Structure 1
């Protein structure tokens, strides 16, 4: 078990001058208060956020991907160090490029979903961060980083798709296998707080009364992420 967070940048991984960052959306099924893979509703899920080091924002655990570890090991390590939970990395959510406000440098962030198996009472950054379980909608309201919100949108679409797939299998004696929703990939450089594009999503707008309905449709799978906004 890790007793202290890794520090320093000696092993930090860069590609074309861009710092490589890895993070997770830790989640659990709240109906039973523990992991329950039989659930198929996003309303049954809670996600774990941690406070920033300055304590003014809520975000998903993330940190630098180092040269001596695989990307999934880095994702689990950062989640343990910052949030104090361990679990199974389930799926890749995508890759985003963003500009760090604190360092004025471009980072490339990879996000994964992580099904929490254990929550620790003591962890490396316990004295530096707070942690809180939220619903997906609460997390969307609290997190200030647009690229993390887009990762949350992909996570929600994957959970919803798997839920529909489970329901179809229950209603069919011979279910056909279906692929999982593809992860998002970066298509443009962005700054913190600004929206970035997703190559695997097509954007469409549909007028409806006095509101606009934004639909992000997966090009490969029938997954739709809907966002309402004022026009």
Structure 2
């Protein structure tokens, strides 16, 4: 597999989702620094594809595993904070992750909260307006394409299982 062009100003994010009682639900996690709601994200690695980086970070930050899309559903401008506390601009690529397993314990459990929200509510809760827009557009595209049903969500087309 060809290695993707990695940039220092890129982040790979997983958008964990499931079909629950309220239809499409999205798992949000709190940021370690600001405690605001967001999704698991990490800097890309030269050793793995960005979707795999997002998949691994979803387990580390939220304790979830499942089938991740090989293609991002979009990207948005954001900022990230270095270990030294310096903010810098970045672009976040978002990969949907159909959750099939939630761990009771995971690496960042003591530093983060995780909660399932209905899609529209998740878009309202996230701290980043670019992420909110991606959630809304993705949810709408699933509804208009008919992929918002439980039967379709269980399909395996175009995704990789983790």
| TM bucket, shorter chain | 0.7 to 0.9
Counterpart of 2:93 in structure 1 is: 110
Among 46, 56, 80, the residue aligned to 2:59: 80
Counterpart of 2:159 in structure 1 is: none
Counterpart of 2:45 in structure 1 is: 66
Number of positions where the alignment pairs a residue of Structure 1 with one of Structure 2: 141
1:123 partner SS: coil
CA distance in 2 between counterparts of 1:154 and 1:125 reads 29
Counterpart of 2:76 in structure 1 is: 96
Aligned 8 A contact 2:120 2:136 in 1:
no
Residues 1:27 and 2:17 are matched in the alignment: yes
Counterpart of 1:134 in structure 2 is: 117
Counterpart of 1:46 in structure 2 is: 25
Counterpart of 2:136 in structure 1 is: 153
Aligned 8 A contact 1:93 1:154 in 2:
no
Offset, 1:158? 2.4
Aligned 8 A contact 1:113 1:155 in 2:
no
1:105 partner SS: strand
- The alignment's TM-score, normalised by the length of structure 2, stands at 0.77
Offset, 1:165? 9.6
Offset, 1:164? 7.2
1:163 partner SS: coil
1:118 partner SS: strand
Q: Structure 1 residue runs of 4+, over 6 Å off?
A: none
- The alignment's TM-score, normalised by the length of structure 1, stands at 0.56
CA distance in 2 between counterparts of 1:110 and 1:165 reads 22
- The gaps in structure 2 that reach 5 residues or longer are 150-162
Counterpart of 1:170 in structure 2 is: none
Offset, 1:55? 5.5
- The gaps in structure 1 that reach 5 residues or longer are 1-12, 32-42, 167-231
